[in-house]
Amino acid sequence: MRRRQVLAALGTTTLASIAGCATIEAELGVRQETLGPVTIENTETEPFDVRLEVLRDGEQVHTSMHELSAVSASEYSPVVVNDWEDNPDARRWIVRAKNDGHDWVYATLDAARPENCHTVNVQVVDIGPNPIVVLPMMCPSG
């Protein structure tokens, strides 16, 4: 009877320690978040300027300004940025975008999340007070 109690206690302790691994690994810097390409697209009928910044673990690794053409039925040309592809892993990524007269809109990709690879889509969609939306998405598998 005592043996069963010990085994049950060990099993519960092991399960609890495994459940916290993702967070512990992230805190220790063992777990990494991979950032794939950032796609910038204008879905509006007017041209639009977007400033993009990417930070890896608090350090700026990319900054650029993009003059996006108005969308048309015959032409669709998103901008794809991936300057960090030689070193895509970090504990935390911040991808942020803005337009003159508006605040930064951003996505924070943290290694504490269960998914460890994201791409980001920056879209101009004039539906609210800020016409830019920053959408993190899981990397395609395969």
pLDDT tens digits, one per residue of 71-93: 886 777 899 999 998 888 999 99
Whose tokens are 């092991």? That residue is 14
Q: What is the pLDDT of residues 123-133, one digit of tens each?
A: 999 888 899 99
pLDDT score at 9: 46
Question: Residue 7 has which token pair?
Answer: 């085994």
- What are the DSSP E strand ranges found in 11-58? 33-42, 48-56
By C-alpha distance, which of 70, 67, 75 is closest to 42? 70
The pTM (predicted TM-score) of the whole model is: 0.76
Model confidence at 16: pLDDT above 90: no
By C-alpha distance, which of 120, 105, 106 is closest to 39? 120
DSSP category for residue 141: P
Question: Residue 130 has which token pair?
Answer: 């800020």
Any bridge partners for residue 95, and if so which? 54, 107
Domain boundaries, the chain: 1-31, 32-138
* E strand or H helix that includes residue 15: helix 2-19
Q: Which tops the pLDDT comparison, 25 or 21?
A: 25
- Return the CATH number of the domain spanning residue range 32-138: 2.60.40
Calculate the CA dihedral of residues 28, 30, 121, 125 and round it to 10 degrees.
-10
